[in-house]
Amino acid sequence: MNGETCIEELLNGLNMGLVSIDHLIDKIENEHLRDIVLHQRKAYGDLKNKVTRDFSQAEDHLKNKMMLESMIEMKTLLSDDAKIAKMLIEGSNQAVMTMAHLMNKESHVDARVKQYIDEFEDISQKYIEELKPFL
């Protein structure tokens, strides 16, 4: 594995978060929860912009976008804010685990790549904590 693969996985994680939030935001009833989720989306979007600016050669696409969108729609047919918060927490946890696994496998990662991965994990962890009260 190389740094480019790490960046592509990071971009995939960010894209999954962005697509998920875009599909869920209109289903959220609680205004405070919606504000938290919109801030999370902005943080992911800002990080994605920095990553794509610094690593413009990396592939920026979402793997299995159709499957993700279909899964989100199925899970939210009869959902409430607690279920949406749970979905977002589960997605953020998965992102943190994926990035940790990736970094544990790769011993020589560019410092900037590592910094962006750490930032992604920090953002995800922050919003996991902010979403917990809505469960």
Domain ranges, ordered by start, for the chain:
3-134
pLDDT digits (tens, 9 = 90+) for 23-76: 899 999 999 999 999 999 999 999 999 999 999 888 777 767 777 777 777 777
pLDDT digits (tens, 9 = 90+) for 72-100: 777 776 679 999 999 999 999 999 999 99
pLDDT, residue 73, reads: 78
CB-facing half-sphere around the CA of 54: CA atoms within 13 A = 18
Measured at the CA of 48, the angle between CA 45 and CA 88, to 5 degrees, comes to 55
pLDDT, residue 118, reads: 95
Gyration radius (Cα) of the chain, Å: 15
What DSSP state is assigned to residue 57?
T
pLDDT, residue 106, reads: 82
* CATH architecture for residues 3-134: Up-down Bundle (1.20)
